[in-house]
Amino acid sequence: MHISNWANVLLLVFKIYATVKSGSLAIAASTLDSLLDLMAGGILWFTHLSMKSINIYKYPIGKLRVQPVGIIIFAAVMATLGFQVLVQALEQLIKDTPLDKMTEEQLCWLYAIMLTATGVKFVLWIYCRSSGNNIVRAYAKDHYFDVVTNVVGLVAAVLGDRFYWWIDPVGAIVLAVYTITNWSGTVLENAVSLVGQSAPPEFLQKLTYLVLRHDPQIKRVDTVRAYTFGVLYFVEVDIELPEDLPLKEAHAIGESLQIKIEELSEVERAFVHLDYECDHKPEHSILSRIPNSPP
């Protein structure tokens, strides 16, 4: 993340110069992207630090949910950038105002800066995408996006200068649509993870098998739930034990099952409920907590 942030600072300075020299809207879109990279990088760095500082009294279950919140803010900023560029490009097309031709010196500077920026971002994309950290992989996605925007912006600027002026704003529109589509999907993906989406059937089957094989005293598995609550899953398990089983043994079975489930890499917390029969109604009712709709 340090490398990415320093690279964004240096590339932003060079791309501002390229924007001033060329006057291209597509290059300006790429430059604005680099400017927001710094802001987004600050957001992700703040979430990383927040997750490391744990206060069990203020945040009893930790702050892993800071990570998807930070990614949502990051993605929302990028989608907003795409909308702003889209509006500017449409305005230029409607006004029908071509830009002045670039000189050979301006073209040389443009090629040098944009190709260097593209090469640096490509290397950072390869480096960051191998990480197991979601925040670093968000950086990798941003670096890949920068490679695309730099190439499209450079091609649109050069073709617009040499052939038809409208190629430049059209290239900016393509980048804007790509930005909005790409990062809106990221917002939706992380928002769903905070809402509490159920785990896939394969993971639920894995949990059920683990519970059934945990102890021979388990007579029946009543309920197995797993749902997102940020990056990892929360798991709820209801099991039936013999009615005459001593409390000490029942507690040992439930506690060891909880520990075993929480050892899974996909699980953040596990809750095990012990019962002596499974014919009663569920203890928790979601419908009873939904506010009445206005008349």
Q: What percent of the chain has pLDDT over 70?
A: 75
pLDDT at 287 over 60: no
CA distance 36 to 72: 14
* Predicted pLDDT of residue 232: 83
- The letter for the amino acid at 120 is V
* Predicted pLDDT of residue 260: 93
Task: Give strand pairing partners of 236.
Answer: 225, 271
pLDDT at 257 over 90: yes
End-to-end CA distance of the chain: 51
pLDDT at 245 over 70: yes
Closest listed residue to residue 169, CA positions, set 17, 28, 34: 28
Structure tokens at 258: 């909880």
* Predicted pLDDT of residue 51: 66
Closest listed residue to residue 222, CA positions, set 212, 232, 210, 213: 212
* Predicted pLDDT of residue 202: 92
Q: Tell me: the pLDDT tens digits for 41-70? A: 676 677 667 666 766 667 666 666 677 777
In terms of Cβ atoms closer than 10 Å to its own Cβ (0-12, 13-18, 19+), residue 62 is middle
CB atoms within 10 A of CB 151: 15
Q: Tell me: the pLDDT tens digits for 157-197? A: 778 777 777 777 787 788 778 777 777 777 787 777 777 78
Mean pLDDT of 216-233: 86
User: Which band of pLDDT confidence, cut at 50, 70 and 90, is reported for residue 252?
Assistant: very high
Q: Where are the beta strands (DSSP E) in the chain?
A: 220-228, 233-240, 267-275
User: Which band of pLDDT confidence, cut at 50, 70 and 90, is reported for residue 258?
Assistant: very high
- The letter for the amino acid at 7 is A
The CATH code that applies to domain 2-192 is 1.20.1510.10
* Predicted pLDDT of residue 286: 55
- The letter for the amino acid at 278 is C
Q: Tell me: the pLDDT tens digits for 193-209? A: 777 788 899 999 999 99
User: Which band of pLDDT confidence, cut at 50, 70 and 90, is reported for residue 231?
Assistant: confident
Interior angle at CA 176, CA 84 and CA 36, nearest 5: 60
**Domain residue limits, the chain:** 2-192, 201-289
Q: Dihedral sign, CA of 191, 195, 200, 203? A: positive
CA distance 287 to 167: 55
CA distance 149 to 156: 10
In sequence order, which ranges of 96-244 are alpha helices (DSSP H)? 104-128, 134-162, 167-195, 201-212
User: Which CATH superfamily includes the segment(s) 201-289?
Assistant: Cation efflux protein, cytoplasmic domain (3.30.70.1350)
Q: Dihedral sign, CA of 134, 135, 141, 143? A: negative
Q: Tell me: the pLDDT tens digits for 118-141? A: 888 888 888 887 776 666 777 777
CA distance 233 to 229: 6
Q: Are 47 and 139 within 8 A, CB to CB?
A: no
* Predicted pLDDT of residue 129: 78
Mean pLDDT, all residues of the chain: 77
User: Which band of pLDDT confidence, cut at 50, 70 and 90, is reported for residue 75?
Assistant: confident
Same fold across 2-192 and 201-289: no
